[in-house]
Amino acid sequence: MRPLLVFQTDFTYMEGAVAAMYGVVKSVDPTIELIDATHEIPQYDTWSASFRLNQYMRFWPKGTIFVSVVDPGVGTKRRACVAKTKDGYYIVTPDNGTLTHIKATSGIAEVREIDESINRLKRDDNKAVSIFHGRDLFGYCAARLASGIISYEEVGEAYPVDEIVIHEITKGEVFDTYAKGIFEINDPNFGNLWTNITLDDFNKVFKHGDKIHTIIEHEGKVVFDEVIPYYPSFGMAKDKSVMIYNNELNNIALAEVVGNLCKNYNLGYGSDYIVTFRKVESE
């Protein structure tokens, strides 16, 4: 079987970019199976692109080729690459921070810079386009790799894994009576917020059923200050109430039950959103 191609971009479906990219893939090999992960990555947000790859990649068959195109530096000297992970996947992407989480978790075994003289679409009008590498470079190269036209070694020259561009990843902290971290990302459809505090660490201090004093600060200002419960499931809390839970990645998260925490409480994510959980003393 040919490897699957799984795509994520910040293109949306509001115009023809996704269709053009997929047309190029099918022109290389009509038998390649294309799957959408998402085309709703926030504009230019390479952190989110990196996080989402790490969220879902491990659940796909080994050998799957992921194409991630969130590319604010398109047409510049930033590298276009194909990374091979230590657990047997391939990622075709600009080297601009998108490989951050996979490098830290799965690990990158090898990375190669795409040779544009071989693995770039040659257009009939012979006019180069510098602003659509998703179509002309990443999609085209991924299709050639998936179809077996080229081997991984024929993508281009390898370069040191240590040279991969990465974002800083911070870890939450736990102490005797409290835990502290940041909101790494949100669940955009439901408005939940996901922290960088692991479930294992959090459970050293707290247990399900606890009422926990939760303080959120944004740029040094307190924007949320409430005592809220810690439950394993949304159905254990009242609608429109705020609760703590562990998300699908087994990190601690916050939600407004049958609501939208981000929208209704005017909250967001990033290193400037600091959350502290403290034990509430028994009366």
Give the pLDDT confidence of 195-239 residue by residue, as tens digits: 999 999 999 999 999 999 999 999 999 999 999 999 999 999 999
What one-character-per-residue DSSP string does 165-233 give? --------EE-SSEEEEEEEEEETTTTEEEEEEEHHHHTTT--TT-EEEEEEEETTEEEEEEEEEB-SS
Fill in the amino acid letter for 274.
I
Question: Given a cut of 90, is residue 127 above it in pLDDT?
Answer: no
Angle at Cα 54 formed by Cα 71 and Cα 80, nearest 5°? 30
pLDDT in the model for residue 122: 87
Q: Where in the chain is the domain with CATH 3.40.50.10790?
A: 5-163
Q: What is the pLDDT of residues 22-45, one digit of tens each?
A: 999 999 999 999 999 999 999 999
Q: How many CB atoms lie within 10 A of CB 173?
A: 13
Question: Given a cut of 90, is residue 281 above it in pLDDT?
Answer: no
Do 9 and 74 meet the contact criterion of CB atoms below 8 Å apart? Answer: no
**CATH, domain 5-163, list 3.40.630.10, 3.30.300.30, 3.40.50.300, 3.40.50.10790:** 3.40.50.10790
CATH code assigned to 173-279? 2.40.30.90
Question: Given a cut of 70, is residue 126 above it in pLDDT?
Answer: no
Q: What is the mean pLDDT of the chain?
A: 96
Half-sphere exposure of residue 185, counting CA atoms within 13 Å on the CB side? 21
Q: What is the pLDDT of residues 56-78, one digit of tens each?
A: 999 999 999 999 999 999 988 89
Question: Given a cut of 80, is residue 283 above it in pLDDT?
Answer: no
As a whole-number percent, the residues of the chain with pLDDT over 70 amount to: 98
Phi, psi of 142 (to 5 degrees): -60, -40
Give whole-number Cα distances, 122 to 7, 26, 69, 125, 259, in Å.
Answer: 22, 15, 20, 9, 49
Phi, psi of 81 (to 5 degrees): -140, 165
Residue 29, classed as helix, strand or coil, is coil
Residue with tokens 């247990």: 207
Residue 251, classed as helix, strand or coil, is strand
Q: Name the residue among 167, 187, 172, 170 with its Cα closest to residue 269.
A: 187
Angle at Cα 198 formed by Cα 6 and Cα 66, nearest 5°? 10
Signed CA dihedral, 256, 260, 265, 266: sign only:
positive
Residue 168, token pair as written in the block: 């800083």
Q: Residue 123: which pLDDT band, with cuts at 50, 70 and 90?
A: confident
Q: Where in the chain is the domain with CATH 2.40.30.90?
A: 173-279
**Residue 220 burial by CB count (10 A; 0-12/13-18/19+): exposed, middle or buried?**
exposed
The 8 Å CB, 24+ separation contacts for 224-231 are 224/265, 224/267, 227/280, 228/254, 230/206
As a whole-number percent, the residues of the chain with pLDDT over 90 amount to: 93
Average pLDDT over residues 86-95: 98
Q: How many CB atoms lie within 10 A of CB 240?
A: 10
Q: Residue 252: which pLDDT band, with cuts at 50, 70 and 90?
A: very high
Q: Residue 282: which pLDDT band, with cuts at 50, 70 and 90?
A: low
